[in-house]
Amino acid sequence: TRYTACIDRERETAEKFDSSSRINRVQADQCSIMEIASSFSKETEEESQSPQTVRVVAPATLEAGFTFEAAFGDTSFIVVVPEGGVKEGQEFEVPYPKEIASGGIDIPDDEEVVALLSDEHGVPKGSWRKALCACCDVSTQATFWMAFFCAPILYAQILTRLRLTWKAEEGPPEETEMTFNRIVIALCFILGVGTIPFVFYLVGLVAVMFYLYVGIRLRRYMRHKYEIPTGPLGRIHENCDDGCCMCFCWCCASIQMARHTHDDKEWPGACCTTNGLEFDAPEIV
């Protein structure tokens, strides 16, 4: 009888231990579920509090699907132009960049992202660096006076800077290195022959046509290289826009092209160099 009673007590003790272990396991499972739910709710709350879009100002008139680089602070990211395209200065919203979200950077609602539309050398793309009629901004620099009194030399400098031939075409180094010399020699020849009586008008007409031809081709090349759209006349033909700029406003158009490749505040123009810049100016090609 005593042996049976001992066995019964051991069974009761084992059952109590099993039941208490089950209760502890259930409580532990409940705690784990609560922790998971709590962390999930925190993540959901953080996602809901974080901005879903960011506001960008279009640097130029761009078509849908066009991509460009934008930045906020020291963080840059790629922006894709939405359907319908955008116009220059227009504000539009894009999904919140992963680069900024992962870095824990918040952009205030009253802040705008700065668009950086440029190539690997920092030359603007999509629009000219300066407006056509902003030529007087550099009236104290050599670029201004070269455009008004010696535009062919300014063309030669820009062509040399872009490593183009005298016809504003890409070519081998042995050809592009001679561009400046050829245009200057042609100018000297025209000026020399122009002193002959009764030949001045004919030579002058040929000279004007020649340098207009070079200027138009140079402007068209720069527009294509830097993806710059034409003006209103470009709807007829792109040569109409470039031709009108070079024919009726050749000084301003020349200055605009010369200022586009380099920031003139940091790298002002120079008249006595083959590329129109100081000797320590960075190359863009």
Q: What is the pLDDT of residues 99-127, one digit of tens each?
A: 555 555 555 554 555 555 666 777 888 78
Question: For residue 283, what are the CA distances in angstroms to 7, 150, 178, 261?
Answer: 97, 23, 17, 9
Task: Answer for the pair 77, 71: CB distance below 8 angstroms, yes or no.
Answer: yes
175 has a pLDDT exceeding 60 = yes
DSSP 272: S
85: left (phi over 0), alpha (psi -120 to 50) or beta: left
Q: What is the pLDDT of residues 183-194, one digit of tens each?
A: 999 888 888 877
For residue 78, the SS3 value is strand
Give the whole-angstrom CA distance, residue 161 versus residue 78: 29
φ, ψ of residue 41 to 5 degrees: the values are: -65, -35
For residue 228, the SS3 value is coil
Task: Answer for the pair 168, 156: CB distance below 8 angstroms, yes or no.
Answer: no
Confidence category of residue 234, pLDDT binned at 50, 70, 90: confident
Confidence category of residue 216, pLDDT binned at 50, 70, 90: very high
47 has a pLDDT exceeding 80 = no
Q: What is the pLDDT of residue 44?
A: 47
Give the distance from CA 1 to its chain's centroid. 96
Tokens of 99: 């680069």
Where helices occur in 62-178 by DSSP H, the ranges are 98-102, 142-149, 151-161, 173-176
Mean pLDDT across the stretch 15-31? 48
2 has a pLDDT exceeding 50 = no
What residues form DSSP beta bridges with 76? Answer: 71
pTM for the predicted model, two decimal places: 0.61
φ, ψ of residue 59 to 5 degrees: the values are: -80, -15
Q: What is the pLDDT of residues 134-145, one digit of tens each?
A: 888 888 888 999
Please give the full DSSP string across 20-48, using - where no structure is assigned: HHHHHHHHHHHHHHHHHHHHHHHHHHHHH
Q: What is the pLDDT of residue 219?
A: 93
How many other β-carbons are positioned within 10 Å of the β-carbon of residue 142?
A: 20
